[in-house]
Structure 1
Amino acid sequence: MSVIDDYLSSVSGRHRELLDQLRAIIIEAAPEASEAISWGMPTYKLNGNLVHFAPGKSHVGLYPGADGVAFAAARLDELGLRYSKGAIQFPLDRELPGELIASIVAFRV
């Protein structure tokens, strides 16, 4: 069992479902990345922190850093997703935009 498995064992419901999907997308886009907990969040590392992810109150968050958000900002706007300098929020009541997430992770790689 990995540190991310341990972290996710305390999460349930829709949060867990989306976090599992997000994790699978990250692993597929960056299979060489290693797992860790950093800043209290599940993290994938490759030459430093690649991306973090975590549950929020009514969303799951992806934290690809400022450059990852800037890379995807136009598409995030098109999808009506909330984001800040280094974080993207995916609401619980919507499906994850898998291709967009994979492209952000690939960009970060």
Structure 2
Amino acid sequence: MSEDETGTLTRADLADVVHLKLGLSRAESASLVERVLYHMCNSLSDGQNVKISGFGSFVLRDKGERIGRNPKTGVEVPIAPRRVMTFRASQIMRDKIAG
């Protein structure tokens, strides 16, 4: 598996791992990765959280309107309500990252 110079794991890297580990063709591996990401994106856009056992959870939160401040001028400005996505790593993932 190759990572680009920023150390980022890409779709192509994931497809390569699927190809090597499962023996699918490169095209089938890329298609599988794309389908998984597509279903994750659709679920999130439909308002559903996504949980991957042993990896983590992608959770949607609604943030209410609040007052922010322009750091350059100090002027207060309203920040519109919005929906944000957060990721919470599973305990298994946190243990692996911690070493």
The alignment's TM-score, normalised by the length of structure 2, stands at: 0.25
Q: Which has the higher helix share?
A: 1
Higher relative contact order (CA 8 A, sep 6+): 1
TM-score, length-normalised on structure 1? 0.24
